[in-house]
């Protein structure tokens, strides 16, 4: 899992938790959904997920995959709470155990922004949880609450990041929202 400087930059970019484009948070919710839906998600599935999100190009072994799944349980615990005090406590605990060592980084063509800087040999759990703690902590502090949730559509329990500014988001995707609306409309007509 040795990292080059370019890989470290990729990693820093993925930790980005800025409000307009909470890219790191979308990675975290997709990881949480993958592991929640398939508690035995293998190295190939998790590798594909990391690659899709421009994560560090680790070549995951089966042991890495297990470490990543176990670490993801801590992310799921935070995403499962809608109480900001409890979420803050859980995130602070992660920050204590997996210090994010934040640095301001200036990526090409972008303004200065805050990123985690995990040591190259820290291991996957540390990489994930330091990244998650910083991204979730910044998001919670910026939004003043748990701007994430779980889909309210029947049969769907997917986590989502609530990027809306007005009404709280209830569904993971427009698809689930439409499904619920159509079902309610049919029930009304029946």
The site for Zn ion (CB under 5 A) is made up of 151, 153, 156, 158, 172, 176
Q: Which is nearer to Zn ion, 33 or 72 (CB)?
A: 33
Q: How far does the chain reach from its first CA to its final CA, in angstroms?
A: 58
Angle at 113 between CA 111 and CA 114, to 5 degrees: 170
Q: How far is the CB of 160 from Zn ion (least distance, A)?
A: 8
Q: How far is the CB of 184 from Zn ion (least distance, A)?
A: 15
Q: How far is CA 24 from CA 81, 183, 190, in A?
A: 19, 33, 44
The residues, any chain, with a CB within 8 Å of residue 32's CB and separated by 6 or more, are: 72, 75, 76, 79, 159
Q: Which is nearer to Zn ion, 38 or 89 (CB)?
A: 38
Q: Which is nearer to Zn ion, 23 or 158 (CB)?
A: 158
Q: How far is the CB of 110 from Zn ion (least distance, A)?
A: 32
Q: How far is the CB of 181 from Zn ion (least distance, A)?
A: 13
Would you call 174 exposed, middle or buried from its count of C-beta atoms within 10 A (0-12, 13-18, 19+)?
exposed
Which residue in 94, 76, 71, 88 sits closest to 146, CA to CA? 88
Q: How far is the CB of 176 from Zn ion (least distance, A)?
A: 3
Q: Which is nearer to Zn ion, 29 or 47 (CB)?
A: 29
Q: Which is nearer to Zn ion, 115 or 150 (CB)?
A: 150
């Amino acid at each position: 899992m040795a990292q080059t400087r370019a890989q470290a930059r990729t990693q820093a970019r993925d930790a980005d938790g800025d409000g307009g484009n909470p890219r790191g948070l979308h990675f975290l919710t997709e990881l949480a959904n993958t592991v929640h839906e398939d508690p035995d998600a293998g190295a190939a599935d998790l590798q594909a997920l990391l690659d899709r999100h421009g994560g560090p190009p680790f070549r995951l072994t089966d042991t890495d995959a297990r470490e990543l799944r176990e670490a993801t349980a801590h992310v799921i615990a935070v995403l499962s709470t809608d109480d900001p005090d409890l979420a803050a406590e859980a995130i602070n605990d992660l920050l204590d155990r997996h210090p994010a060592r934040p640095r301001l980084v200036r990526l090409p063509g972008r303004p200065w922004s805050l990123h985690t800087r995990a040591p190259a040999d820290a291991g996957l759990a540390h990489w994930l949880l330091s990244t998650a703690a910083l991204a979730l902590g910044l998001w919670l502090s910026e939004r003043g609450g748990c701007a994430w949730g779980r889909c309210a559509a029947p049969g769907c329990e997917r986590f989502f990041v609530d990027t809306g500014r007005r009404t709280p988001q209830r569904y993971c995707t427009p698809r689930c929202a439409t499904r619920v609306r159509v079902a309610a409309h049919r029930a009304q007509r029946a």
